[in-house]
Amino acid sequence: MATFVLVPGAWLGAWAWDETARVLRERGHTAVAVTLTGLAERADLGGPQTDLETHIGDITDLVEGQDLRGITLVAHSYAAAPVTGAAGRLGDRLERVAYVDSAPFAAGMGMLDLMPPQVADQLREQVTVFGDGWRLAMPPIDVLGLSSSLDGLDDGRRERLLARATPQPFGTYTQRLAEAVDPGPGVDRVLVACHDFKALLDAGMPMLAYLNQPPWRRFDLPTGHWPMLSAPVELADVLDSAVS
């Protein structure tokens, strides 16, 4: 049986993984969900100093503090950035990395680099004016849907997402990944692609071509960008299959 460390994307806490983690545990796996500093029940620990390195440390501290070994480290969305950083530091504790609707970051890359310059500027202004200079609130659902698929999120799930979301410490977006150490050829690499990301991969974008080739193993999931909320059992099925 596998040991999963589940890392949520921006604005989310460990709660987002509740249903998927429950199913994984029912199937005999260990599933540990992480709440990163400044989010959900750890919101009061965040501040202007909270950055990407803080979240990398959250992951490595949890794994080492609980002496977890043979882990499958799972990143959703934004979590690809800290998971990439943590994966290179966990040594032989790491058996597998799995990126859910996301992909590894390169050294020197940050979240804002994934956005058009005008969008990044808008986020900076929003944080300055409304977020005390360091907090990025989750956008309204209609704005969120412009950049990320909401497929599978009914009204109840959308309300839950918005009600439980926490402003993201903006330092995690502005700080670039200092290093991206390859975890080594012995580490299994898994990609879970949902609707929009699947379309990008199928379109043959050169910068993503490596994800369609060994050693990567790709699993497609017909749902939107938040599969742990829109298709939690199906996501557990995919993760279970990936480690079987």
Peptide bond into 8 cis (omega under 30): no
In this predicted structure, what is the pLDDT of residue 51?
A: 98
In this predicted structure, what is the pLDDT of residue 184?
A: 86
Q: Which CATH class is domain 3-243?
A: alpha beta
Low-confidence stretches of the chain (pLDDT < 70) are none
* pLDDT above 90 coverage of the chain, percent: 92
In this predicted structure, what is the pLDDT of residue 181?
A: 84
| Contact by Cβ (8 Å): 5, 72 | yes
Helix ranges, the chain (H): 18-26, 52-65, 80-87, 117-130, 141-147, 155-164, 171-174, 195-202, 227-230, 232-243
The domain ranges of the chain are 3-243
In this predicted structure, what is the pLDDT of residue 115?
A: 92
pTM of the entire structure? 0.96
213 by DSSP, 3-state: which? coil
Mean of pLDDT over the chain: 96
In this predicted structure, what is the pLDDT of residue 50?
A: 98
In this predicted structure, what is the pLDDT of residue 213?
A: 94
